[in-house]
Chain A
């Protein structure tokens, strides 16, 4: 059974019988089939070692699938030539648990960094940085350095940096993992606003409260397999699971 939005939007992410086995023999993913339509908000849940991070790494070609095909926004990621990787990575905004901000750069410089490596003009950099920082409510704090920002603010700067290329897909790997509940909620508000503006969001998380509160699509992984794909789901399987795939 398909989620209704899959019927109206072409998938922005599509994994077709994807397997990933690491050289040390670890089977990280087994026969993953997943379609995420444009504009969706999807939680990827599961215990540590379930394969969430591997799945994220496949989407940005930090890893290649051992078998199967991965499509992101029309690009077959596994077969993409190396010289095309920058293009893929500009199409996918990435947010990490540890923020990955450069400590010697201010908030706006951190956001601008993503555009400078793309060779954008100064005017474009200024305009897009402003738009991205305003989208996460941090334009006023643009000149502050990461050490002068709270954890939530740092994560919002990271989200602004992920947004600055105008990606159609934003992938967040445990973005609230280092944050207290109130700050985590601030970050979620920012991600919801981005999703409302049309960007697809795929968020790997352990945060049960947020998943349960948001009631969005939940894809649960366990030992490398999709064990649940549920619309308006919860972190744990409810007594009556709405199974989307057989």
Chain B
């Protein structure tokens, strides 16, 4: 019961802090809301770019190995088995010369060439799907050492493109993390200032609480709760803004940036909500914790 009464006291004090210090609270809420909108925009852009990169990545993470004519099927099967055993390989598929020819012939644009063909000049191929883009280079190197590889056209590995994509992905990750770190620091400073202002407004009450035997927890908890409340409300605000703006944004930019396969993914809004609310709560509590440690001493 005593714990319940303490909790009610803390809740009441936190709520009163928030409203009595309304100007600072609302300023902090809007500032953090704006920061979370920026962070959320970053996450949405990151998600869109991840979709684009993912789609390209899926294309280039399949490497096709040409098989030299006359290579015994047993040798191909051995090589296939060797590939399948590798942890970086997701799947392996062998396409015979006939299958490759049929596939080539099924394209209407190749009809004229097919009619002029004598025999079957198209080599058999092994298609290897790797688990990660970074693994493609290793499979390419391995394929080139296999005696059965077609020396005139060993693989379709696009080293430059893969390297560029990997570099881009790395820079995007770093940039995103850097941006989030800066935004997090700014948010913590804003919450700290709001709480410092609340502590200043309530300095008399804090002093009296200390003098009449209030515990450290009881004096500090309302400010932590106020920080949490500010962070959560700011996150809810940011989520509302982003949820409203996401679809129009994608519609507008998918036509303007037609070369990028941007798509509206409503499921990502749930992920975004969880991330923003968690981020808002953590930033709010962290900012107020730093502030009360510095400014509230029992």
Q: 6 A-B Cβ contacts within 8 A?
A: A82-B216, A83-B215, A86-B214, A102-B204, A118-B214, A119-B6
Neighbouring B residues of A88 by C-beta, 8 Å: 213
Q: Which residue of B lies closest to A118 (CB)?
A: B213
Interface residue B142 (Cβ < 8 Å from any Cβ of A) = no
Instruction: Count residues of A near B (Cβ-Cβ below 8 Å).
Output: 22
Interface residue A128 (Cβ < 8 Å from any Cβ of B) = no
The answer to whether A89 touches B5, judged by C-beta atoms less than 8 angstroms apart, is no
The answer to whether B204 touches A117, judged by C-beta atoms less than 8 angstroms apart, is no
The answer to whether B9 touches A116, judged by C-beta atoms less than 8 angstroms apart, is yes
On whether A119 and B5 interact (CB within 8 A), knowing A60-B211, A89-B210, the answer reads yes
The answer to whether B5 touches A121, judged by C-beta atoms less than 8 angstroms apart, is yes
| A76 nearest CB across to chain B (Å) | 18
Complex interface residues of chain B between 191 and 211 (CB less than 8 A to chain A): 204-205, 207-211
Neighbouring A residues of B215 by C-beta, 8 Å: 83, 86, 117
User: Which residue of the partner chain, among A85, A90, A114, A120, contacts B5 with CB atoms under 8 Å?
Assistant: A120
The answer to whether A89 touches B1, judged by C-beta atoms less than 8 angstroms apart, is no
Interface residue B112 (Cβ < 8 Å from any Cβ of A) = no
The answer to whether B204 touches A85, judged by C-beta atoms less than 8 angstroms apart, is no
Q: Which of B3, B6, B215 has most A Cβ within 10 Å?
A: B215
Instruction: Count residues of B near A (Cβ-Cβ below 8 Å).
Output: 20
Interface residue B117 (Cβ < 8 Å from any Cβ of A) = no
A residues apposed to B, CB below 8 Å = 60, 82-83, 85-90, 94, 100, 102, 113-114, 116-121, 161, 165
Interface residue B113 (Cβ < 8 Å from any Cβ of A) = no
Q: Is the interface of B mostly helix, strand, loop or mixed?
A: helix
| A130 nearest CB across to chain B (Å) | 18
The answer to whether B298 touches A82, judged by C-beta atoms less than 8 angstroms apart, is yes
The answer to whether B6 touches A114, judged by C-beta atoms less than 8 angstroms apart, is no
Q: Which of A86, A87, A88, A90 has most B Cβ within 10 Å?
A: A86
Interface residue B218 (Cβ < 8 Å from any Cβ of A) = yes
Neighbouring A residues of B209 by C-beta, 8 Å: 113, 117
Interface residue B294 (Cβ < 8 Å from any Cβ of A) = no
Interface residue B212 (Cβ < 8 Å from any Cβ of A) = yes
User: Which residue of the partner chain, among B9, B207, B211, contacts A119 with CB atoms under 8 Å?
Assistant: B9
Neighbouring A residues of B2 by C-beta, 8 Å: 119
Bitwise, B70-108 to A at CB < 8 A (1) or not (0) is 000000000000000000000000000000000000000
Neighbouring A residues of B204 by C-beta, 8 Å: 100, 102
The answer to whether A102 touches B208, judged by C-beta atoms less than 8 angstroms apart, is yes
The answer to whether A113 touches B208, judged by C-beta atoms less than 8 angstroms apart, is yes
| B8 nearest CB across to chain A (Å) | 9
How long is the Cα–Cα vector from A113 to B211 in the complex, in angstroms?
11
